[in-house]
Chains A and B, each alone.
Chain A
């Protein structure tokens, strides 16, 4: 936050003569060239690896394409078929619930832990790493497999529950009623990366605000509400946007837990998992491409909505 605000305070000298203006423009041009040079690796990646396939997938979304035969143009058929595709609706519903429940929970937990770690405790580096670990592992196949075992019918969680006399005979990941909640829990548990970003944001808030508030007798809660939250709101916003986009695309956990089928009873049929089933399992790559573009529209709309709402709650200190 403060880096941005610092930068905004640097005053640019207004040119007074033509010569000065030319010199300034020249310097700016040099800066731009250097900037593009530094961007080059990313730009090459964007145009070669991303844009080409992006356009190809847009084209394929208007075709019937089995992967084995060449694509044939069918216009909007793939999109109109979505209206009657019950499993697509289920996939949208599952993904929507997943995003709406897991993202706020995860961010709240990340913020809470970040505030805790920001109390100037000793061994911060260690705790920070420990809390960050799940984020590095969470999307991995190994952890998803581990969770499948832990939350299975005779898994560790149920065994512990049985020790306490709970008659736990249903597996958490293998019952349609609880499978999605278990995946949400797994996602919330990987709060490390938003936490690290929050922690960095918290450290940017000038201590003097808190001191001044304390002198005025503001309570801890009040200091949090009136100082921390507003000054942290751009960071919260940043995390929110990224996590929503990421969660819409969750794939690995559901793929591993359900063995790639969305089982039990399609309760873990994430959108991208269904897209994958359609494209590679059922040889409907055209339909899968159309699904990808529907997801682009949905994620784009969610992000636009986020930016619109941001006007009302994100506070830029500049």
Chain B
């Protein structure tokens, strides 16, 4: 008797408790209609304290100029932003204006969750070449570049001084020379300092593949085969053997650290892969002016390094918004008006609108000005803009790092890692 009751209760408890994880979602409908020009817009972004303040200020400026528009702010933090957005979209409650990332744009765009911005009059005529196409999915502009980004190697000059090693010539260095330089720094600096911190991520394998005539993604799926990346995993192993990067377990920890705690910023590494819009934050956290370097090339010529501009983030609108005109009007103001640019400056990356950039140029701080110059300098080194990761491709960096970890700890050979990496990356694509 008692046993049965307990059995029942515990069984029920097991079912209920297990299902808890999936019961936390929900939602309800939005507000009322809109006449001419009046709108109630939900505006979502992820950011940092500086960006949150800028964004709030810009929204205030916009609503003051457009009193019929009401904007509700949904600030967030990158790691939880995407769970929230997916859940909101599932509940038919997606924000009207969405700060989007390249890693997720096809996930949403291909599933028709995003508005065609050009159809509602978004103007990109002043945008610098190569900065618009990345927001196009199936021929429709579903995200507009909010700031130009490019992959760089940041160097901490203090660590170079400490190791008494000269900064490299970034227009000629190769991946092998970079390894030798890093090993030299590790040997000379002592105190657990290594030449390179986080390095082998999706951006770098993308660069390396492009230099070898491949792409990370192609229109039909993965842009490379296992045979193409065996040498990549061998390079990872070679860097580790030469002590050019931290020990396997330190490297594993390094990968998940936020920028301000990273080896580069705390002076434990001389260099680190970093996107250009992070230069200011890295310099601030490191207490020194970081030097921006080009990533290495296979041939030793900067002109062959197949650099590219990426949107640091994009502005999108929900395809189910009740106010498509008003949402696009606000995005248009955001990317094309000097008024908004004066508030945001280059915090989201260098503005792609060349006239806007010229207008705010004199107001940029030294770090942002340095990045703006770098972005212009590398123009001759640009190759085709890589396509956005297809659905299921947004998490390729996690997969890559996992197999690199296997190689670093000697659990898998580079050839096996390459084969498994390609299998899994292919299986993830939809």
A residues adjacent to B (C-beta < 8 A): 4, 46, 49-50, 53-54, 57, 66-69, 86-87, 152-154, 169-171, 174-177, 241, 245-246, 248-249, 251, 258-266, 272, 275-277, 279-283, 285, 288-289, 292, 295-296, 299-300, 303-304, 307, 310, 316
Say if the beta carbon of B311 comes within 8 Å of chain A. no
Say if the beta carbon of B87 comes within 8 Å of chain A. yes
Closest 7 CB pairs of A and B: A53-B23, A259-B256, A171-B249, A174-B249, A174-B252, A67-B90, A68-B111
CB distance from B414 to the nearest CB of A (A): 15
A307 touches B90 (CB 8 A): no
Complex alpha-carbon distance, A263 and B252, angstroms? 8
B409 touches A307 (CB 8 A): no
Say if the beta carbon of B118 comes within 8 Å of chain A. no
Task: Kindly report which residue of chain B lies nearest to residue A149, judged by CB atoms.
Answer: B253
- A277 cross-chain contacts in B, Cβ below 8 A: 395
Task: Evaluate whether A245 and B79 lie within 8 angstroms (CB atoms) in the complex, with A49-B23, A174-B250, A292-B21 already known.
Answer: no
Say if the beta carbon of B373 comes within 8 Å of chain A. no
B411 touches A265 (CB 8 A): yes
A176 touches B428 (CB 8 A): no
CB distance from B9 to the nearest CB of A (A): 10
Task: Kindly report which residue of chain A lies nearest to residue B113, judged by CB atoms.
Answer: A68
Choice from A169, A281, A296 contacting B18 with Cβ under 8 Å: A296
Q: Is chain B's binding surface mostly helix, strand, loop or mixed?
A: helix
B253 touches A260 (CB 8 A): no
Some 30 contacts from A to B, beta carbons below 8 A apart, are: A50-B19, A53-B22, A53-B25, A54-B15, A66-B391, A68-B86, A68-B89, A154-B250, A171-B253, A174-B252, A174-B253, A175-B252, A177-B409, A241-B10, A245-B14, A245-B18, A246-B17, A249-B18, A251-B21, A259-B256, A260-B79, A261-B402, A265-B402, A265-B405, A282-B395, A282-B428, A292-B18, A300-B14, A300-B15, A304-B11
Say if the beta carbon of B82 comes within 8 Å of chain A. yes
Q: Mark B4-29, 1 if CB is under 8 A from A, else 0.
A: 00110011011111111111010000
Say if the beta carbon of B2 comes within 8 Å of chain A. yes
A-B contact count (CB 8 A): 148
Choice from A67, A249, A296, A310 contacting B86 with Cβ under 8 Å: A67
Q: Mark B111-125, 1 if CB is under 8 A from A, else 0.
A: 111000000000000
Say if the beta carbon of B392 comes within 8 Å of chain A. yes
Task: Evaluate whether A316 and B2 lie within 8 angstroms (CB atoms) in the complex, with A153-B247, A265-B411, A300-B11 already known.
Answer: yes
- A304 cross-chain contacts in B, Cβ below 8 A: 11
- Total count of chain B residues near the partner, CB < 8 A: 51
A303 touches B14 (CB 8 A): yes
A175 touches B248 (CB 8 A): yes
- B192 cross-chain contacts in A, Cβ below 8 A: 154
B402 touches A280 (CB 8 A): no
Say if the beta carbon of B96 comes within 8 Å of chain A. no
B22 touches A292 (CB 8 A): yes
Complex alpha-carbon distance, A277 and B16, angstroms? 21
B22 touches A170 (CB 8 A): no
Complex alpha-carbon distance, A39 and B210, angstroms? 65
- B256 cross-chain contacts in A, Cβ below 8 A: 258-259, 261, 263
- A175 cross-chain contacts in B, Cβ below 8 A: 248-249, 252, 409
Complex alpha-carbon distance, A94 and B253, angstroms? 20
Task: Kindly report which residue of chain B lies nearest to residue A299, judged by CB atoms.
Answer: B14
Say if the beta carbon of B280 comes within 8 Å of chain A. no
- B25 cross-chain contacts in A, Cβ below 8 A: 53
A296 touches B3 (CB 8 A): no
Choice from B16, B398, B428 contacting A46 with Cβ under 8 Å: B16
Choice from B10, B23, B87, B247 contacting A169 with Cβ under 8 Å: B247
Task: Evaluate whether A171 and B86 lie within 8 angstroms (CB atoms) in the complex, with A245-B13, A265-B409, A296-B18 already known.
Answer: no
Say if the beta carbon of B377 comes within 8 Å of chain A. no
Say if the beta carbon of B401 comes within 8 Å of chain A. yes
- Chain B CB within 10 A, most for which of A49, A67, A169, A296: A67
